[in-house]
Amino acid sequence: MKNRWDVLKKKYSQWKTLNMRATGLGRDPVTGCISASDEWWADQNAAMPGCISFKNSVLEHEDMMRIMFEAISVTNETVHMFLELVMRGERRKSMMMARMVRLMVKARGVHHRSPQVLTKGQLHLQGEPQVPLLERKRKHIGIPL
């Protein structure tokens, strides 16, 4: 099943890339294939081995493949979109971390203070000495250091 998924994903990626590169070229009205010279197809096949199969046929079930692969398919032309999605995820993580810090501060009864430093294993609030988080947890639970 995974092999079939990978093959379909590769074919969709090749089809998408060919359509982006075929800007300005015509289409065969009967088959819907890209109308280009043999030289253009040879260049594309050298860059993407196997894409020559689309010279005489179109991608079957393109609409279904778009649903399955559009979000995870990255061509050289669209890599910036993938990076933007990654950055959105990082922003979401940092917002969640800030929310967790606010909840921790609120749980400690320190409503008017905000965290100054949050690094690995440390949480420093205004007016309190820096104590590693693990040591504070041990002290709270009653485990000797």
8, 69 contact by CB (below 8 A): yes
Q: What is the pTM for the complete model shown?
A: 0.48
Number of H helices, E strands in the chain: 5, 4
Strand (E) or helix (H) holding 5? helix 2-21
Question: How far, in Å, CA of 102 to CA of 105, rounded?
Answer: 5
22, 34 contact by CB (below 8 A): yes
Number of residues assigned to the chain: 145
Round the average pLDDT of the chain to a whole number and report it. 71
Secondary structure letter of residue 57 according to DSSP: S
Tens digits of residue pLDDT in 13-57: 888 888 888 878 888 888 888 899 999 999 999 999 999 999 988
